Amino acid sequence: MSRDQDAVWKALADPTRREILDLLKDGPRQTTEIVDQFPQLSRFGVMKHLDVLREAGLVRTRTKGRLRVNSLNVAPLREIVERWISKYEGFWANTMLRVKDLAEEEVKEVQTKPKRKKAK
């Protein structure tokens, strides 16, 4: 695994950073807007999370005067999906089909079993 992907995995490991990415999924946000979404954290704490996301390449920040506008960069996520997740799609699809087939077989068995008459 490349160092870049290591940084992405480490960034994704933290739930606060994943929440920040979820916020940015809806569009760019000023740093102040992001900080306001995490009242339980200090401004400094949120900034540290943004730094980790920037270092991993998941967030891009541009400065407009005194404002810092953060946006999501999905390219590193796409690389993760292509490198790791897509390899296992076939496995999961086959597993789910087997589960479906087994469930359907059980339903057929239940439906074809003769019903017992209740004793009086």
Task: Report the pLDDT value the prediction gives residue 84, as an integer from 0 to 100.
Answer: 73
Contacts of 57 (CB under 8 A, 6+ apart): 4, 7, 8, 73, 75, 76
Task: Report the pLDDT value the prediction gives residue 118, as an integer from 0 to 100.
Answer: 66
Task: Report the pLDDT value the prediction gives residue 1, as an integer from 0 to 100.
Answer: 47
Task: Report the pLDDT value the prediction gives residue 108, as an integer from 0 to 100.
Answer: 76
- The answer to whether 16 and 50 have CB atoms below 8 angstroms apart is no
- Tell whether the model's pLDDT for residue 2 goes beyond 60: no
Out of 15-24, 66-75, 108-117, least confident range: 108-117
Specify the CATH class of 3-73 in words: mainly alpha
pLDDT tens for 17-69 read 999 999 999 999 999 999 999 999 999 999 999 999 999 999 999 998 999 99
At residue 18's C-alpha, the angle toward residues 55 and 82, to 5°, is: 75
Measured CA distances, 32 to 26, 29, 39, 49 (Å) = 16, 8, 11, 13
Contacts of 35 (CB under 8 A, 6+ apart): 41, 43, 46, 47
pLDDT tens for 78-100 read 888 777 776 777 666 667 677 77
